[in-house]
């Protein structure tokens, strides 16, 4: 019996057909994958904010944040690194220097040039309410979420976290901070008893005395740590006073949040008779913190709590 042997030309053609089929299969698979990835990037969420609603990317990749408080710390705390944020003299807040390495620094200003923001080509813009003109100009073309700088840092933090699709992670950050503050506050109160506290920041021309409410610093000291406030503190977020104005406060402890610990006015305060007459100064209970940006974001609150724990419990 003769064996049938296919001509080499037929075998070669069959091989080409099989190879072409595999190629088309791979091409189709690649196209499907690319299509799926594109659909994923085009998915959006609706985020309600101060000025309305915004359709934002489900997973934004290029976030630009404009605010006079450090909400970029909220982004970092939920695992999102912003593309660009504002910076004083091209420097980020001290407590976020490491976390913001590689982030584009924008000039710190009360008014922002919309054209410069457009050049950044963000897929999400998060701004504070003071940038209403910017919102009016850009919100139709750039997904924009507006957050009100208010008295409750938690609301601000959660809105920023929600804007980037990390609301659950944002809530977990708050829970962890509350537990840490409760532990530290309990131990501080056990040591200090009924001693009173006041937070101050010596500015270039006056002194900021922090109050009891409507500021992240106040909530850290008197809500989270539950320290006893000094008498006569402002009921609201605080007030700016002269050197002589210090006379009506006489706390057992001063939390010093001064950013610039030098200069003519600083020296006139700390070397003056009014300052030296305060109990906290006389008893060496002025606790100077290096975290001085107001505790508006979780990263600074975490570092501030650690610093307060060290200062108040190691003495």
pLDDT at 188 over 50: yes
Helix (H, G, I), strand (E, B) or coil at 271: coil
- Res 37: pLDDT: 47
Length of the chain: 315
pLDDT at 213 over 80: yes
Report CA torsion sign: 106, 291, 303, 228: negative
- pTM of the prediction? 0.83
pLDDT at 259 over 80: yes
Q: Are 44-165 and 171-313 in the same CATH fold?
A: yes
Tell me the pLDDT band of 260, cut-offs 50, 70 and 90. confident
- Res 314: pLDDT: 85
Under CATH, which architecture does the 44-165 domain have? 3-Layer(aba) Sandwich (3.40)
pLDDT tens-digit series, residues 50-109: 999 999 999 999 999 999 899 999 999 999 999 999 998 889 999 999 999 999 999 988
Quick one: average pLDDT of 1-30?
50
- Res 31: pLDDT: 58
Name the CA radius of gyration of the chain, rounded.
28
Tell me the pLDDT band of 226, cut-offs 50, 70 and 90. very high
- Average confidence score pLDDT of the chain: 89
Instruction: Give the Cα separation of 184 and 180 in Å (integer).
Output: 6
- Res 230: pLDDT: 97
Tell me the pLDDT band of 27, cut-offs 50, 70 and 90. low
* Contacts for 134 with CB less than 8 Å, ≥ 6 apart: 66, 112, 114, 117, 127
Adjacency order of strands within the sheet including 104-107: 104-107, 84-87, 63-66, 124-128, 144-147
Half-sphere CA count of 102, side-chain side, radius 13 A: 3
> Domain boundaries in the chain?
44-165, 171-313
pLDDT tens-digit series, residues 123-144: 999 999 999 999 999 999 999 9
Q: Is 237 exposed, middle or buried (0-12, 13-18, 19+ CB in 10 A)?
A: middle
pLDDT at 1 over 90: no
pLDDT at 35 over 50: no
CATH superfamily of the domain spanning 171-313: Nitrogenase molybdenum iron protein domain (3.40.50.1980)
């Amino acid at each position: 019996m003769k064996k049938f042997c296919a001509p080499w030309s037929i075998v070669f053609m069959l091989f080409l057909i099989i190879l072409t089929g595999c190629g088309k299969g791979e091409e189709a698979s690649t196209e499907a994958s690319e299509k799926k990835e594109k659909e994923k990037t085009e998915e959006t969420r609706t985020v309600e904010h101060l000025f309305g609603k915004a359709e934002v990317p489900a997973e934004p990749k290029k976030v630009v944040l404009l605010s006079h408080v450090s909400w970029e710390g909220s982004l970092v705390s939920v695992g999102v690194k912003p593309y660009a944020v504002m910076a004083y003299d091209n420097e980020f807040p001290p407590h976020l220097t490491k976390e913001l390495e590689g982030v584009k620094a924008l000039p710190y200003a009360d008014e922002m040039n919309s054209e410069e923001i457009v050049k950044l080509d963000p897929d999400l813009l998060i701004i504070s309410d003071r940038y209403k003109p910017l919102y009016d100009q850009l919100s139709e073309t750039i997904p924009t979420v507006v957050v009100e700088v208010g008295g409750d840092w938690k609301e601000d933090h959660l809105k920023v976290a929600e804007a980037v699709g990390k609301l659950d992670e944002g809530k977990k950050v708050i829970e962890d901070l509350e537990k840490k503050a409760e532990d530290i506050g309990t131990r501080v109160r056990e040591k200090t008893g009924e001693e009173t506290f006041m937070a101050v920041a010596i500015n270039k021309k006056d002194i900021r005395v922090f109050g009891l409410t409507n500021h992240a610093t106040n909530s850290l000291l008197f809500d989270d740590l539950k320290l006893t406030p000094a008498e006569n503190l402002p009921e609201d977020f605080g007030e700016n006073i002269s050197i002589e104005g210090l006379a009506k406060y006489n706390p057992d402890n001063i939390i010093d949040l001064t950013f610039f610990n030098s200069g003519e006015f600083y020296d006139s305060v700390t070397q003056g008779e009014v300052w030296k007459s305060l109990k906290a100064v006389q008893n060496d209970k002025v606790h100077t913190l290096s975290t001085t940006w107001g505790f508006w974001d979780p990263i600074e609150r975490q570092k501030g709590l650690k610093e307060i724990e060290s200062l108040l419990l190691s003495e």
